[in-house]
């Protein structure tokens, strides 16, 4: 069965800047480029045994150490999203160089810290999961120890100047008492109305909001802030950035193209088609074996290369399903330690799931007890996580094509994917589309239809019906293109 779906676009995308119509391209956005700040949000929780929590702490101090390298030694290479790549590191990947010895020393000292031991014991014995805000708050309480240990190691190796005069950092014992009291206090939260984890998450969310305000004020008053930004990131922003970066270990990057089931949604015209000055592309879809609508799109499907020669990529048309967006405030919960789908099996078994005595974490069983069932559940959750929006957006009635790839799609040019002209059934002009833009579009379509010998392309315009107080599509029958 053939269905039509509509894609609202501004003129600059269709014609002026990106030439999407001429090139027959659909641009796939990153979640950060979309207009809902909750795009791609994952309700991740952490629950596991001592093995995975110990390795979690080893991973944390490794990321602190690697980030410190970009702050103190290679500051010219520092960028705010630096953890996006560092988070994939594991200790086994450290080169046989001084950095491996440095890591072993700081990790051992960090894990020996009583406050860190308290955190490890509490997490390993905890029967309820911990979520973002609470985990961030706990890591923030431990971050002072990580900073002191790493900075001391750098200074002892002559990689930092001697301690400059200024206010002394908080005594370690005072930091320890505060951290232990805070973490132990959380375990005592009880309520007959709400589960303890909901109360603790709410309290930590409030606390994190207050801390964010304090950090904002401090950065506002900081002299030469731009020069000090790497240190500010490492000292203040790191715990929040680290927890956010952990998302990448669960699901790989994904990209999305948005569609609608109708071409006369006034709000959509206003938001996505530059206040009716743009156009709406009407695509013809084909049902797959399950009856879901699909659109063939050209994507990279293979690569080959040899030593000394550049890699060449091959593309082919793949039918991509258009999936309905769900509008809800409830996002699917994801178990972090049992959903590490973006890292290699080697890293899972040689680091994340491996105990110091060679035994494996119980979390590993979730993956290997029934690998096929785990993969099916993992990919279902991955697909669904890109299809959730808050109820405020329900009026859009949106459908999406979601793509992900083992090949690089990080740049915008690599996310402009080609569709077949035969699948573009028509174009709707907006209520305020400029006639010059309409003429340019008609000429492009005319040339394409002539090349493809098409006579079924349709033009529409959106008009306001005063009698019915609504916008409606009107076919422009006189613009029919006829070819024999």
What pLDDT was estimated at residue 405?
85
pLDDT mean across residues, the chain: 89
Q: Once rounded to an integer, what is the mean pLDDT over residues 277-290?
A: 96
The predicted model scores a pTM of 0.86
pLDDT tens-digit map of 4-38: 999 999 999 999 889 999 999 999 999 989 988 88
Q: How many domains does one find in the chain?
A: 2
Indicate the SS3 state at residue 67: helix
For 196, counting Cβ atoms within 10 Å of its Cβ (0-12 exposed, 13-18 middle, 19+ buried), the class is middle
Q: Within a domain: residue 340?
A: no
Residue at a domain's end among 193, 227, 250: 250
Whether 205 and 317 map to the same domain: the answer is no
The Cα–Cα gap between 89 and 66 comes to 9
**What is the band of 193 on the pLDDT scale with cuts at 50, 70, 90?**
low
Q: Once rounded to an integer, what is the mean pLDDT over residues 310-324?
A: 89
Whether 198 and 293 map to the same domain: the answer is no
Whether 97 and 107 map to the same domain: the answer is yes
Whether 126 and 115 map to the same domain: the answer is yes
What pLDDT was estimated at residue 223?
86
pLDDT tens-digit map of 173-183: 888 988 898 88
The domain in which residue 151 lies consists of 43-250
Q: Within a domain: residue 272?
A: yes
Instruction: Report which of residues 442 and 208 the model is more confident about.
Output: 442
pLDDT tens-digit map of 214-250: 888 888 888 887 788 888 899 999 999 999 999 999 9
Q: Is residue 402 within 8 Å of residue 355, measured between CB atoms?
A: no
Whether 256 and 246 map to the same domain: the answer is no
Q: Look at strands 293-304 and 279-287 and give their pairing.
A: antiparallel
Least reliable range by pLDDT among 101-115, 186-200, 375-389, 408-422: 186-200
**What is the band of 191 on the pLDDT scale with cuts at 50, 70, 90?**
very low
Q: Which residue, among 138, 126, 98, has the nearest Cα to 337 in the 3D structure?
A: 126
The Cα–Cα gap between 210 and 216 comes to 10
């Amino acid at each position: 069965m053939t269905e039509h779906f509509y894609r609202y676009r501004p003129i600059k995308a269709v014609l002026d800047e990106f030439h999407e119509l001429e090139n027959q391209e659909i641009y796939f956005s990153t979640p950060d480029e979309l207009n809902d700040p909750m795009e791609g949000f994952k309700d991740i929780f952490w629950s596991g045994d001592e093995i995975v929590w110990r390795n979690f702490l080893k991973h944390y101090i490794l990321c602190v150490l690697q980030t410190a390298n970009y702050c103190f030694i290679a500051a010219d290479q520092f960028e705010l999203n630096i953890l996006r790549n560092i988070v994939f590191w594991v200790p086994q990947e450290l080169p046989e160089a001084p950095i491996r010895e440095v890591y072993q020393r700081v990790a051992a000292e960090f894990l020996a810290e009583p406050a860190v031991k308290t955190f490890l014991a509490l997490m390993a014995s905890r029967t309820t999961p911990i979520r973002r805000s609470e985990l961030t708050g706990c890591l923030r309480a431990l971050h002072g120890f990580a900073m002191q240990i790493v900075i001391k190691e750098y200074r002892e190796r002559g990689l930092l100047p001697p301690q400059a005069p200024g206010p002394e950092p908080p005594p370690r014992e005072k930091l320890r008492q505060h951290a232990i009291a805070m973490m132990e206090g959380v375990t005592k939260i009880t309520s007959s109305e709400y589960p303890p984890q909901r109360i603790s998450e709410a309290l930590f969310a409030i606390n994190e909001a207050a801390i964010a305000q304090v950090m904002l004020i401090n950065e506002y008053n900081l002299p030469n802030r731009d020069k000090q930004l790497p240190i500010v990131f490492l000292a203040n922003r790191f715990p929040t950035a680290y927890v956010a970066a952990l998302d990448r270990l669960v699901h790989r990057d994904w990209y999305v193209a948005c569609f609608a089931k109708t071409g006369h949604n006034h709000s959509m015209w206003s938001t996505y088609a530059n206040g009716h000055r743009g156009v709406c592309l009407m695509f013809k879809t084909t049902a797959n074996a399950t009856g879901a609508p699909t659109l063939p799109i050209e994507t990279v499907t293979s690569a080959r290369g040899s030593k000394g020669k550049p890699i060449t990529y091959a593309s082919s048309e793949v039918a991509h399903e258009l999936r309905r967006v769900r509008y809800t405030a409830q996002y699917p919960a994801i178990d972090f330690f049992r959903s590490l789908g973006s890292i290699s099996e080697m890293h899972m078994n040689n680091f994340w799931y491996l105990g110091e005595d060679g035994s494996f974490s119980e979390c590993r069983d979730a993956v290997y007890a029934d690998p096929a069932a785990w993969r099916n559940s993992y990919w279902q959750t991955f697909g669904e996580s890109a299809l959730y929006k808050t109820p405020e957006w329900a009026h859009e009635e949106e459908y999406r094509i979601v793509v992900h790839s083992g090949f690089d799609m990080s740049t915008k040019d690599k996310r402009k994917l080609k569709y077949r002209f035969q699948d573009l059934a028509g174009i709707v002009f907006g209520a305020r589309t400029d006639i010059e833009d309409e003429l340019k579009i008609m000429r492009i379509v005319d040339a394409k239809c002539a090349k493809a010998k098409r006579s079924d392309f349709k033009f529409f315009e959106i008009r306001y019906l005063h009698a019915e107080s609504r916008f409606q599509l009107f076919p422009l029958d006189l613009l029919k293109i006829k070819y024999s």
